Amino acid sequence: MAGEVASFSVWDYVVFAGILLGASGIGLWQAIRGRKENTSEEFLLGGRQMHAVPVAMSLTASFMSGITVIGTPAESYRYGTAFWLFGLSYAITSIVTAEIFVPFFYRLGITSIYEYLEMRFSKSVRVLATSIFILQTVLYTGLVIYAPAIALNQITGLNLWGVLVVTGAVCIVYCTLGGLKAVIWTDAVQLVIMLSGFAAVIARGVVLQGDMARIWQDAADGGRLETFDFDPDPLKRHTFWTILVGGSMIWISVYSINQSQVQRYLACRSVAHAKTSLYLNYLGLLATVSLAMFCGLTMYSIYMKCDPLTNNDVGSPDQLLPYLVMDILADYPGVPGFFVAAAYSGTLSTVSSSINALTAVTLEDFIRPKWRNLTEKQLSWINMSLSVFFGVVCIGMAGVASLMGSVLQAALSIMGIIGGPLLGLFFLGMLFRTTNTMGGLLGLLVGLILTMWVGIGAQIYPPGADKTNLLQFSTNCSNSPGDNNMTTAFPWTSALTLTREPPVRPPLADSWYSLSYLYFCPLGTLCTVVVGLLVSIITGGCKQERLDSSLFVRKSDLICFNCCGSSSKTSDMEKEDNEKTKDKFDAYQMFDTTGKDEEKVTKL
């Protein structure tokens, strides 16, 4: 199967539009249902009364952006099943987040996690970290809107700019009207749609190929099942070690110190619900990555004798799965529309999460510290206005993304490039008592400079074929194969634009710039921690006044101590911790966080 495929039918448009309207309806329903509880905490954290199951589904759905939905099967198709090892990274991430960060942030009782940085360091650290998060999130969200739109536009014929605006508008509607509750419940529904989309593609592929055994055998014959590579070379794109170490660090930075994810489990009614949501989320991640990978293997079994990318039937790897859908499901009216809706459900989940998180940090980190006497009605209008504002900004950023070309791939690695230094900053605050404001600031800046250097360099000079392990394809097609002298820089969840290798490569291109993208996050974290500690020691961090113990991770937070200690003793410790933290936080809220009062906050 290769060549031209059918475009969208009327029923496909009907199904696609119906699912988008359904998402908006959930926001309207939540707005009507919660009209008597119109408070800022209700809008941003769902009143802290959410249950574990919908929060878990929301965490999984927000992980599955539209880029992931169409990019991960392409990863399996082109590089094999090494990506499946991320299941180990997700397990480590779930344990670390649930057993260290969840109890810690719950003790603080905060809305924006960057409030902690002012409590631990100073207002300047908080403002810098929040600004970096906002920039990162706006850029990434714009790309999340644009990336699947351009891939699907070129295959299905959907109007690019119409879809961009509609996607952003739908998110603005239910985020503005329903707040976090609408986001969580919409995510839960969208997760079911996304997984069903994968299942539809696999089921049709199995029917065409005869059975799953043939798909599995074709994948084995094509070298797609060589999952484990224990080569310690840090320059190789995907090995057991890069995924286990680098992948775990990336996802710890996403789930533990990214406002978009943390805000969800802070909305749970108890620590137990929050922890449960993370462990259920792990099961969702496993199901998601498994279905996505098997989609890619199914695609390989169908196209193993004629690769659409090599044959110039598609222009980029991201278009492979939409091409497959239109190729094998076009005879079933409405089914291609359902799959495209599944891809856009991932986009809606990520965008709505980002809008809600951006609203929360802007309100808590920039507006409330300056205007402390705002009424709940005023806060409500500010929340809704910010949701609309950031939705429009993200749509605008999607437009800018269309002009970026190959820079898109670098931006898709922004979670590792920026998340690593931010994770290092939180580690400095939570684990080390000697760290001071100067150490935190310089550590964060040096870590960012280092990761951006290697990240941008890797984008300009992509790693060679010997490091990316691109597998072979057959080109026995009816038409002549095209030029395949192309490489991708960051084909982890997406490879939107193919970039020709520059003819001249500097000495660093095959060493420093060829570092696996998965090591960007550990590199940034380690650099931030080391520089932060050294600067703090040099600038008198060891001599600073004793800080409140609730600002650090305690033994009672860790799972091993909770399991070994008696339940009554642990309960008493938790009550004492919560009372101390509440007193400290109340005192923090009373201060005007400028001038001398900032010093008081730092010394709490």
> Mean pLDDT, to the nearest integer, of 43-52?
76
Confidence of residue 468 (pLDDT cuts 50, 70, 90): confident
Mean confidence (pLDDT) of the chain: 79
More confident call, 318 vs 64: 318
Specify the pLDDT at position 484. 40
For the chain, the structural domain boundaries read 10-403
Specify the pLDDT at position 44. 73
Specify the pLDDT at position 492. 35
Residue 555 has pLDDT above 80, yes or no: no
The span from the CA of 373 to the CA of 445, in Å, is 34
Among 47, 98, 64, 50, smallest CA distance to 352 is for 64
Fold classification of 10-403 is Sodium/glucose cotransporter (1.20.1730)
Percent of the chain with pLDDT over 70: 80
Query: Could you read off the pLDDT of 240-278 as tens digits, one per residue?
Result: 999 999 999 999 998 999 888 888 888 888 889 999 999
The span from the CA of 466 to the CA of 471, in Å, is 11
Query: Could you read off the pLDDT of 496-516 as tens digits, one per residue?
Result: 344 445 557 778 888 888 888
* Cα–Cα distances in angstroms (integers) from residue 232 to residues 23, 50, 90, 242, 247, in the given order: 45, 43, 21, 8, 15
Q: What is the identity of the amino acid at 569?
A: K
Indicate yes or no: pTM above 0.85.
Answer: no
> How does DSSP assign 94-121, residue by residue?
HHHIIIIIHHHHHHHT-SSTTHHHHHHT
Query: Could you read off the pLDDT of 85-120 as tens digits, one per residue?
Result: 999 999 999 999 999 999 899 888 888 899 999 999
Specify the pLDDT at position 242. 92
Give me the sign of the Cα torsion angle 169, 172, 175, 176: negative
The span from the CA of 194 to the CA of 345, in Å, is 7
Residue 494 has pLDDT above 60, yes or no: no
Q: Where are the beta strands (DSSP E) in 55-94?
A: none
Query: Could you read off the pLDDT of 515-526 as tens digits, one per residue?
Result: 888 899 999 999
The span from the CA of 51 to the CA of 268, in Å, is 6
> Mean pLDDT, to the nearest integer, of 14-33?
76
Specify the pLDDT at position 237. 83
CA dihedral 172, 173, 178, 182 (to 10 degrees): -80
More confident call, 174 vs 75: 75
Q: What is the identity of the amino acid at 546?
A: R
Specify the pLDDT at position 6. 66
> Mean pLDDT, to the nearest integer, of 530-542?
89
Q: Are 490 and 549 a contacting pair, CB within 8 Å?
A: no
Q: Are 251 and 421 a contacting pair, CB within 8 Å?
A: no
Residue 393 has pLDDT above 80, yes or no: yes
Query: Could you read off the pLDDT of 415-462 as tens digits, one per residue?
Result: 788 889 999 999 999 999 889 999 999 999 999 999 999 988 887 887
